């Protein structure tokens, strides 16, 4: 004949069940956050942060400069501002002339 669990055992079992379900929910939330992050990235990748139009990537001396096809904003990736700042004045002029309309 199976023994009836004591009150303490019942409390323990309920707590374990709660912990188990909580973990599943937390994983669901994490996955949701990851999915949302992925969705946002797909939505925003190579889009202008100001107007949302497509960016045109131009490689100049290993610096990838992204220029908006609409508002003409220029965007840089991590470390690229530093790289641009190290260009000689003539290099900077050439970089800007890449974008200037003839
Ligand atoms: Zn723009």
DSSP secondary structure string for all residues of 23-66: HHHHHHHHHHHHHHHHHHHHHHTTB-TTT-PBEEEEEETTEEEE
pTM: 0.63
For residue 95, the model assigns a pLDDT of 83
- pLDDT exceeds 80 at position 57: yes
Distance 68 CA to ligand 1 centre (A): 5
Distance 46 CA to ligand 1 centre (A): 11
- pLDDT exceeds 90 at position 50: yes
Distance 75 CA to ligand 1 centre (A): 10
- pLDDT exceeds 80 at position 102: no
Distance 96 CA to ligand 1 centre (A): 17
Distance 65 CA to ligand 1 centre (A): 14
Question: Which whole number is the average pLDDT over 61-69?
Answer: 91
Question: Which whole number is the average pLDDT over 63-92?
Answer: 91
For residue 1, the model assigns a pLDDT of 64
Question: Which whole number is the average pLDDT over 78-91?
Answer: 89
């Amino acid at each position: 004949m199976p023994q009836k669990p004591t009150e303490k055992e019942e409390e323990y079992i309920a707590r374990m069940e709660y912990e188990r379900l909580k973990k599943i929910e937390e994983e669901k939330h994490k996955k949701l956050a990851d999915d949302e992050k992925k969705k946002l990235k797909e939505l925003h990748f190579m889009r202008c942060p100001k107007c949302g139009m497509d960016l045109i990537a131009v490689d100049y001396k290993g610096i990838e400069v992204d220029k908006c096809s609409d508002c003409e904003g220029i965007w840089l990736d991590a470390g690229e501002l530093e790289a641009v700042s190290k260009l000689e004045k003539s290099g900077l002029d050439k970089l800007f002339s890449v974008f200037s309309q003839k």
